[in-house]
Amino acid sequence: MSVLPIVAWPDPRLKRICSPVDRIDDAERRLINDMFETMYAAPGRGLAAPQVGVMQRLFVMDATWKEGVKTPLACINPKITVLGEAMSTNEEACLSIVGVAGVVTRPDQIELSYTDIEGARGAVVLTGFAAICAQHEMDHLDGRVIFDHLDVDARAALEAEYRGLAQ
């Protein structure tokens, strides 16, 4: 396994919609394992394929490892179904936009369906932070980042702050 370079915003790959994964082979499994290693090393709680320059619909996440319990989840060709009407507003950071965080409102409960690293279909109901993490990673597969959830003024301010960090 190896740590992969993480694509930084405003790289145009972060704005592209990813293609479905056609088959899960050794190369895909190696990519997923490398993505987990990269995510943990960053240290993050989720990482989507376009964040490492691969334009495929897959992401990895582990919403609990920083609290001491690892729950790694690899999601290939994921789909999200919103459950209920409850919303949650939280500050979100991103491994591709290091140093700033945006306030984003998302559904608080979802069902995440996916294919796992062995090719089996799975589904899990996620709430709270895990639901937010999965939705954040799914955004990357659809060419969206945290900036895209902000109103015009908040986006401009956060982008300026991010650009200021790069100088």
Here the CATH number for the domain that contains residue 85 is 3.90.45.10
pLDDT band at 165 (very low <50, low <70, confident <90, very high): confident
pLDDT at 167: 61
Judge whether 29 lies within some domain.
yes
Q: Give mean pLDDT, residues 3-29.
A: 97
Enumerate the H helices of 4-105 as residue ranges. Answer: 26-41
Judge whether 6 lies within some domain.
no
Question: pTM above the 0.75 mark?
Answer: yes
The total number of structural domains in the chain stands at: 1
Judge whether 54 lies within some domain.
yes
Give the integer Cα–Cα distance in Å for 109 and 75. Answer: 17
Judge whether 84 lies within some domain.
yes
Give the residue numbers spanning the domain of 76.
12-166
> To the nearest whole percent, how much of the chain has pLDDT over 70?
99
Judge whether 103 lies within some domain.
yes
Judge whether 17 lies within some domain.
yes
Judge whether 57 lies within some domain.
yes
Judge whether 1 lies within some domain.
no
Which residues does the annotation mark as catalytic? 137
